[in-house]
Amino acid sequence: MSATPYQQLEQEWKRLHAFRGALALLRWDAAVMMPKGSAEIRGEQLAALETEHHTLLTSPRVSRLLDRAQANTQGSSDWQLANLREMRRQRDHAIATPVSLVSRLARATATAEVKWIAARRGNDFALFAPHLEEVLHLVRDKAQLLGQALNLAPYDALIDEFSPGVTMTDIDAMFKALSRRLPTLIREAMALQQKTPALPITGRFPVAKQRQLVVELMKAFGFPFDGGRIDDSEHPFTEGVPGDIRITTRYDAEDLFSGVLGALHETGHAMYDLGLPREWRDQPVGRDRGMAIQESQALLIEMIVCRSRPFVRYLLPLLAKHFGVSGPEWEADNVYARLARVQRGLIRVDADELTYPLHVQLRYELEKKLLSGALAVRELPDAWAQFMRERFDVEPATMQEGCLQDIHWAAGSFGYFPSYALGAAIAAQLYEKLRDSVAGLDEQIARGEFGGLFGWLREHVHGFGAKLPTQELLKLATGKPLSAAATLRYLEGKYLEDPASRSAAA
């Protein structure tokens, strides 16, 4: 019995999956273990494997097999059909961009990233501008080609790479709803906050003990240490493949929550990866459903669960155990208030839940204008400052606090930023449904039991892999299409709660 075209495709993707896993390890090692002087050698290894991956994916053999498999899908299960569709999607994305453009983009972004670092340090936008121009020019070409191949508007084609099935229309609608309410909500929340200011939390928290705490929390979540690791790195990230998931965080001995919450954010990503359908592990349909859902899982854990009152109740005895902390600033109310603090800041990655969507909206609006040509690269710093002034009442004093704070554009990642805001909205929508569905969820969390939480997420999100487009997955899980409504209900409930009623609620 010879293998069917579909079975042959599964074999091809098994090989591609092995390449992806090897690439993931090369990247992880570069950030965590590799000697400083070995970057150039690693770059050549990554380029060789990525080129080979691309060549395998876009080979005439794969195209032929896809055509033959799609010509006869009789008797295929819905998983197999979805797998075939995802194979086609990956191949279409890969083949739409010619290798020459891929490698020009790789070189241009490599240079732009280096210049970005220098420009950021020197507060010198002019140093970065020509390189951003070059990247933008190539990304525009790519968006055009991708759009033609996928029958999408150019910017939608870029979004599709990160969050399949989401379009500008969806994102515009979401930001419209959010920006109608958020500015006043931020004012109200900050006014309430000022009525009962939280006590500052200071001290030294030895990094070795923070590591122990993180491992204890990850174990409570069910992270399997026989199929994953946590290490330190410059910036927190999640790498690897299910069965060998590697997460990292960065600890700060002066700031207990930064490293710990960073690790829990990554654990959210990892738990998603670990909950993907095991029997499809090495196939496209067994992968995650893109960055919007990925971010939703990370933000649901970090921002919603781990900054909630029940989690603070669970956490406090652990903090006492690991760090011997006590005193009024370590009371549940105060720790909760510290974790829910709202600030109009300049930096996206330090932003709270209320101001975060506005940071993303800024980038979303500017990158669309940059791509369409409505905004010139040289006008970027002023446009950025104007948005911040009008919406945040603050203005960046340096480029590092302004339009040079993120690496994404230097790296050519246009269409990526919306995933963060989409992720936050999806997280709120999932959490609303989750609380309705899992009885006693708060009590479970307060006892350090996370089986109910992750059980629901596996059943309704993780276990679907890439079987459904982003929007359909969300609708099936929550009964509702993507909207900002749940986010606003969640944010109002949390941030307009009267501080006076807090103790009673806890």
Q: What is the distance between the alpha carbons of residues 98 and 80, in angstroms, rounded to a whole number?
A: 29
From residue 219, how far is each of 216, 224, 304, 392, 505 by CA, in Å? 5, 7, 19, 39, 28
- Interface with its own copies in residues 436-495 (CB under 8 A): none
- Determine the interface stretch with its own copies among 29-37, 192-200, 304-312, 480-488 (rule: CB under 8 A): 29-37
From the number of C-beta atoms within 10 Å of its C-beta (0-12, 13-18, 19+), residue 420 rates as buried
Phi, psi of 183 (to 5 degrees): -55, -45
- Determine the interface stretch with its own copies among 14-22, 148-156, 457-465, 494-502 (rule: CB under 8 A): 14-22
Q: How far is the CB of 18 from its own copies (least distance, A)?
A: 3
Nearer to its own copies, 271 or 371 (CB): 271
| DSSP letters spanning 242-286 | TTEEEEEE---TT-HHHHHHHHHHHHHHHHHHHHS-GGGTTSGGG
- Determine the interface stretch with its own copies among 34-42, 105-113, 187-195, 349-357 (rule: CB under 8 A): 34-42
Using the 8-state DSSP alphabet, how is residue 303 labeled?
A: I
Give the residue, chosen from 4, 7, 8, 22, that forms a contact with its own copies under the rule CB under 8 A.
Answer: 22
99 scored as a contact of its own copies (CB under 8 A): no
- Interface with its own copies in residues 384-413 (CB under 8 A): none
Strand order in the sheet with 238-241: 228-232, 244-249, 238-241
Q: Which helix (H) or strand (E) holds 239?
A: strand 238-241
Q: How far is the CB of 215 from its own copies (least distance, A)?
A: 13
118 scored as a contact of its own copies (CB under 8 A): no
Neighbours of 127 (CB within 10 A): 17
Q: What is the distance between the alpha carbons of residues 462 and 286, in angstroms, rounded to a whole number?
A: 10
Residue corresponding to tokens 């939608």: 156
What type of residue sits at position 368? K
Quick one: residue 450, left, alpha or beta (phi over 0 = left, psi -120 to 50 = alpha)? alpha
Phi, psi of 245 (to 5 degrees): -90, 130
Nearer to its own copies, 33 or 320 (CB): 33
Binding mask 224-263 for its own copies (x = CB under 8 A): xxxxxx-----------x-xx-------------------
CA 477-479-480 angle, 5° bins: 110
42 scored as a contact of its own copies (CB under 8 A): yes
Say if residues 227 and 244 touch (Cβ distance below 8 Å): yes
Q: How far is the CB of 93 from its own copies (least distance, A)?
A: 21
33 scored as a contact of its own copies (CB under 8 A): yes
Binding mask 187-226 for its own copies (x = CB under 8 A): -------------------------------------xxx
Nearer to its own copies, 17 or 341 (CB): 17
345 scored as a contact of its own copies (CB under 8 A): no
What is the sign of the dihedral through the CA atoms of 296, 298, 304 and 310? positive
Nearer to its own copies, 41 or 376 (CB): 41
Helices (H) and strands (E) in the chain, counts: 21, 3
220 token code pair: 């409570």
Give the residue, chosen from 3, 38, 61, 440, that forms a contact with its own copies under the rule CB under 8 A.
Answer: 38
Choose the catalytic residue: 12, 86, 161, 266.
266
Q: What is the distance between the alpha carbons of residues 150 and 54, in angstroms, rounded to a whole number?
A: 18
Phi, psi of 461 (to 5 degrees): -130, -65
From residue 253, how far is each of 203, 317, 330, 341, 366 by CA, in Å? 8, 19, 17, 20, 36
Nearer to its own copies, 17 or 209 (CB): 17
Q: How far is the CB of 381 from its own copies (least distance, A)?
A: 37
Overall size of the chain counted in residues: 506
Q: How far is the CB of 463 from its own copies (least distance, A)?
A: 20
Q: How far is the CB of 362 from its own copies (least distance, A)?
A: 39
Give the residue, chosen from 47, 118, 126, 397, that forms a contact with its own copies under the rule CB under 8 A.
Answer: 47
> How many chain residues interact with its own copies (CB under 8 A)?
35
34 scored as a contact of its own copies (CB under 8 A): yes
Nearer to its own copies, 42 or 209 (CB): 42
- Determine the interface stretch with its own copies among 30-38, 147-155, 256-264, 380-388 (rule: CB under 8 A): 30-38
432 flagged as catalytic: no
Q: What is the distance between the alpha carbons of residues 158 and 167, in angstroms, rounded to a whole number?
A: 10
- Determine the interface stretch with its own copies among 10-18, 182-190, 197-205, 269-277 (rule: CB under 8 A): 10-18
- Interface with its own copies in residues 270-289 (CB under 8 A): 282
40 scored as a contact of its own copies (CB under 8 A): yes
- The site for its own copies (CB under 8 A) is made up of 14-15, 17-19, 21-22, 25-26, 29, 33-38, 40-42, 44-45, 47-49, 52, 224-229, 241, 243-244, 282
Give the residue numbers marked as catalytic: 266
